Amino acid sequence: MRHFLENLIVIGCNRPLSKVLYAGFALCLLVPPAFAQTPPTSVQPLPSGIMPNDYFHTGAGAHYLRRAEGDLVTEKLRGNISVIMGSGANVIILSGKQGKFLVDAGIGVSESKMKVALSAISPTPVKYVVNTHWHWDHTDGNAWLHESGATIVAQRNTLKHLSQATHVDDWNWTLPPVTADARPTLLIDDSKIFRFGGDIIHVEHYGPGHTDGDVWIYFEKADVMALGDLFWNGNYPFIDNQDGGNINDAIKWADKAVERTTDKTIMIPGHGPVGTRAQLIEFRNMLVTVRDNIAALKRQGKSIDEVVAAKPTAAFDDKWGRFVIAPAHFTRLVYAGL
């Protein structure tokens, strides 16, 4: 029994039982567990008063949960396309006689507010929801949207991640598989075209980007592109190195989006305000410069801590480093992907 308990503690906290008892079991709460954890619906400390250092308590997830406590904001664009902000990632809506076509699902705690916001756009039901990738802030609303009658659409790798427990070191969290009703059922390998709401909608995948299952959605007639987390407007992005993403492929996607669009195209990021092609180019140029700075230091044999200390993002920090990905964090993400 003692051997079992020692092994259990080693798996959960990476230290022997005796040392855990001497050091205090609360310390284990700061180390990522090996078991899946259900995401919380609000930001609360543990009963002990400790605020764990993880995605949902001190990271980006905590920011999104707190933001969701406020009002959602709907911005009407063009061609019957709107964007709702405040429920995790930006949620894009094309509304037509057939119903609504959504890009991303937001987070589940916003369900009641999302229903009000969607009804204010039009009374028609949601028919499709495209997940731009698997992350919680883009997919947590899948279940209630599917229950309301929507078909969930995603790239095949997104389904893979949503169907199994997935640990992300940068989040210090292991997300459980989502329930069957929250999983995509219409899968895309490379591309699919929808004719919906008076528009022609291109859902396209070009290989790894910020994950291994990214898609962008281009509304041809409206000339609107929704990029998910391939574009963060004015903020350093998260890059999920563990799940197929890396800085070089993120740059390739940005290059391709610049080539595909014009100065008239509306560019909708996963996070941040609705943007322009010029802002996407600025984002791409920032990625390239930071990547090159870090790559040069890494070629010199610098450790990750030495590279962080060198502040390779310094020229961009005042503008780009004020959201959920801090300069040091972004530096580590880029370094890990090179």
Residue 182 sits in a domain of what CATH number? 3.60.15.10
Give the orientation angle of helix 277-299 with respect to helix 327-336, to 10 degrees: 70
Considering only CA atoms, which of 182, 25, 52 is closest in space to residue 105?
182
Strand 224-226 to 216-219 pairing: antiparallel
Q: Which residue has the tokens 């993403």?
A: 245
Same domain, 22 and 71: no
Same domain, 11 and 86: no
**DSSP code for 232:** B
Final residue belonging to a domain, choices 249, 276, 303: 276
Query: For the chain, how far is it from start to end, CA to CA, in angstroms?
Result: 44
Same domain, 24 and 112: no
Same domain, 191 and 137: yes
The whole domain housing 16 covers 1-31
Same domain, 10 and 140: no
Same domain, 68 and 118: yes
Final residue belonging to a domain, choices 236, 259, 276: 276
Both tokens of residue 312? 């390779």
Same domain, 220 and 134: yes
**Distance, C-alpha 107 to centroid of its chain:** 11
Same domain, 12 and 134: no
45 within domain boundaries:
no
- The residues near 314 (Cβ < 8 Å, ≥ 6 apart) are 327
- The residues near 129 (Cβ < 8 Å, ≥ 6 apart) are 102, 103, 104, 105, 141, 142, 145, 146, 150, 151, 152, 153
Q: What is the pLDDT along the chain (338 residues), one digit of tens a residue?
A: 333 333 332 333 333 333 333 333 333 334 444 478 899 999 988 788 888 899 999 999 999 999 999 999 999 999 999 999 999 999 999 999 999 999 999 999 999 999 999 999 999 999 999 999 999 999 999 999 999 999 999 999 999 999 999 999 999 999 999 999 999 999 999 999 999 999 999 999 999 999 999 999 999 999 999 999 999 999 999 999 999 999 999 999 999 999 999 999 999 999 999 999 999 999 999 999 999 999 999 999 999 999 999 999 999 999 999 999 999 999 999 999 99
Same domain, 102 and 233: yes
Q: What total number of domains does the chain contain?
A: 2
